[in-house]
Structure 1
Amino acid sequence: MNKINTPEIVFYQKLGELFYAVAAADRVVREAEYKVLSTLVEEEWKQMDDYQDQFGADAVYQIAIVFEWFDYERMDAEDCLTGFSNYYKKHKKLFSVKRKQLILRTIDKIANSFRGTNKSELIMITKLKMLFNTN
């Protein structure tokens, strides 16, 4: 594993912010959404990169840490989407086609984890897809 510096860890933190925004779009983050995110971090995101944070932990766990923290703080979903969007616009080079595909797959699975995708989640997913399709 490679040790990474703070700017690279921020990438994972911003993903946690985005995934929280989708889960909280309907103002309630459900246990099913936590479980899906946890499974995806373990089974798919850990395979994406091979980095450690400054404590020697897999840096990809920043996704779940931020997701849980934002839920604890009851952050506003729209503010979180805006925060992610601003980050994306400034750091597009970090978002390869493969990473974008995994991000979209992750948000789709989070949104579908509890009774299917609702209107609020669908709007947020659409906004993200539009963001990814702009140059």
Structure 2
Amino acid sequence: MNTETHKILQFYQNLGKLFYAMSAIDNIVREEECKSVEELVKRHWLKLDFLDDNTKLEAEAAILETFKWLCRDKEYNAEDCYTSFVGFKRANPTFFTNEINSLILKTVGQISASFSGQNKSELILLAKLNIELKNV
């Protein structure tokens, strides 16, 4: 695996971490949130123009397998996953175009609203993420 492919895979794994962070920020990952993540990944993240068919399958697997692993393992909390995502974002700013940042915010907003609206913890994390994505 070349360096560029490895970085792309890490990008998608970090999206899985972020989606887990949003789902787990209230210390409970609900079934509705899991279903929402799967649907949103298929609906939005696999339709990006710059992905070929093979890369789309790898992207889907990287996001969802990371998310599911974190749900099963429960070793990492939401803050750890969010911090890991932010670290990746700061080290790899070229991945985070305006289009990607908008899609990230849209996705996490929909994840947080998937179970009876957004709670205080989710709103705080959304605000932190919004600020982070605006910092270049």
Please give the TM-score of this superposition, normalised by the length of structure 2: 0.89
Greater Cα offset, 41-50 or 104-113: 41-50
Deviations 1:7-63 (A, max 9, x none): 11110000000010000000000111111111111111100142436xxx7122111
Structure 1 gaps of 5+ residues are none
1:119 has 2:131 as partner = no
Distance across 2 between alignment mates of 1:76 and 1:34? 16
* Shift, 1:113, TM fit: 0.3
* Shift, 1:85, TM fit: 0.5
Whether the 8 Å CA contact 1:13–1:63 is kept in 2: the answer is yes
Aligned length: 129
State the one-letter code of the partner of 2:110. K
1:69 has 2:69 as partner = yes
- 1:20-59 alignment, distance < 5 Å: 20-48=20-48, 49-51=50-52, 52=54, 58-59=57-58
Whether the 8 Å CA contact 1:16–1:67 is kept in 2: the answer is yes
Distance across 2 between alignment mates of 1:59 and 1:122? 30
| Displacement over 6 Å in runs of 4+ | none
How large is the Cα RMSD of the aligned pairs?
1.4
Percent identity between the aligned chains?
35
* Shift, 1:99, TM fit: 0.7
